[in-house]
Amino acid sequence: MLVPAKDDRALAAGVHALLSDCVLRAELAAAARRFAADNYSLQVMARRHEELYRELLKEKGFKPGSHSHSAAKIKVAIVAPSLRYVGGQSVQAELLLHNWKDDADVEASILAVDPELPTALAWLEKVPVLRTIVREPLYLYSLYSRLAEVDVAHIFSASYWSFRLAPLPARFIASLRGKLALINYHSGEARDHLQRFPEAVAVLKKADKVVVPSPFLQNVFQEFGIKADVVANISDLSQFKFRLRQPLGAKLVCTRGFHRYYAIDVVVRAFAEIRQQIPDAMLTLVGKGPTEQQIRELARTLGAQGVTFAGVAARDIIGEYYDRADVFINASVLDNMPVSIIEAFASGTPVVSTCPEGLQYLVEHERTGLLSAPGDVHALAQNVMRLIREPDLAERLAHNAYEECRNYTWEAVREKWLQVYRQLMVGQA
């Protein structure tokens, strides 16, 4: 807010305007922080200096690669699921690809673990097991042909049989091709996976580098003697609009898939309890999955009116669901570093969640959200009610959470990925 110089009345009026409008204060503060982070952070300054040096070298006739190997772009193949099946890994892979586009240091491309089937076999897409059997040779051929063109295979990894079908062959063929292999492991089921599949431990130990999105997984891997670096998930904050809910209503949203680990049944049961106290409360469930039919039946059985099943939301419209909601609710029993919670942070939607082991590294109780024990329906419902009854608490949580989500922007994450790739290249040299 700007006022004329040497005008004490205008200055006082400006201060008074801010003191009397907490929403405007919050909006200006959030916008100012975004401006500072986008223009004056260490990462931005470093990048601008690099651009300046490159421009000066170009004027002097310097050709990339003629004096130093490090001047050439690092070619990276991101081996990951495609966006045809929207999920955490596919979204993260797409964000990496999008953000590396036209980058001065990295040239990235996607190598889908689920390549499209030939037109004549397109009908197999509806036959889960058979489509995987038919698709695997296409995936292996794609690995062998395309990894020849890159420096680093950046391999996204889940757990159990998925690990055997996608990361394991990618690691093997990268080695066969003499390429560096980085395994980017995302599953919150890591401990159980590594206990039951000892060959996965051997493969991870032989990888050129292992990267995980959270200290939780780093600690789990350490239990098995696997060294892992931490690079956080990316959240595209441009899709989300921060705003304070004043007053905070009872419109709840949950953007987790219908899988047993995410315990959507607990969310619905907690909502039914909330609705007994606030009859016009609403719950929007955004996602799909194998337990959806049971959840629909549960909602009918409980007589929980006001539940909307919205289906899967495309990445470019997911922000609308957070913006329309008052509270983000999550009841997972196993979790790692869910992007959905980071998205809620960015939107100013206060977070109420259960606290499985991995989630405690992301949400801090009474600072960035309210936490309760997994499976405790009553505690989850009571935390939602507490936010509604304590608007000052909800506002404080929203502000703190928004500050936290800056750690997951591309500006914060890019330098860490670049450092990982460069470490690999130096190790190879």
pLDDT tens readout for residues 61-97: 766 544 444 458 999 999 999 877 667 788 899 999 9
Angle at alpha carbon of residue 282, lines to 281 and 286, rounded to 5°:
155
Query: Whole-angstrom Cα distance, residue 171 to residue 176?
Result: 9
- CA 365 from centre of chain: 20
Query: Whole-angstrom Cα distance, residue 341 to residue 350?
Result: 10
Write down the pLDDT at residue 429: 55
Residues of the chain predicted below pLDDT 70: 62-71, 85-86, 428-429
Identify whether residues 141 and 213 lie together within a single domain. Answer: yes
Residue numbers of the domain that contains 249: 237-408
Q: What is the CATH number of the domain that holds 360?
A: 3.40.50.2000
Q: Which two tokens stand for residue 19?
A: 């003191």
Can you give the three-state secondary structure of 11-62, one letter per residue? HHHHHHHHHCCHHHHHHHHHHHHHHHHHHHCHHHHHHHHHHHHHHHHHHCCC
Whether 151 is in a domain gets the answer yes
Query: Whole-angstrom Cα distance, residue 384 to residue 185?
Result: 33
353 neighbors 369 (Cβ within 8 angstroms): yes
Identify whether residues 224 and 242 lie together within a single domain. Answer: no
Write down the pLDDT at residue 63: 62
Query: Whole-angstrom Cα distance, residue 127 to residue 43?
Result: 47
Write down the pLDDT at residue 273: 96
299-331 pLDDT per residue, tens: 999 987 899 999 988 878 999 999 999 999 999
Describe the crossing of helices 88-100 and 410-428 by its angle, rounded to 10 degrees. 80
Whether 204 is in a domain gets the answer yes
Q: Which of 380, 268, 243 lies closest to 320, judged by CA?
A: 243
Whether 35 is in a domain gets the answer no
Identify whether residues 150 and 282 lie together within a single domain. Answer: no
Whether 53 is in a domain gets the answer no
398-410 pLDDT per residue, tens: 999 999 888 888 9
Cα distance from N-terminal residue to C-terminal residue, the chain: 53
Identify whether residues 218 and 349 lie together within a single domain. Answer: no
Count structural domains, the chain: 2
Write down the pLDDT at residue 253: 98
Write down the pLDDT at residue 428: 63
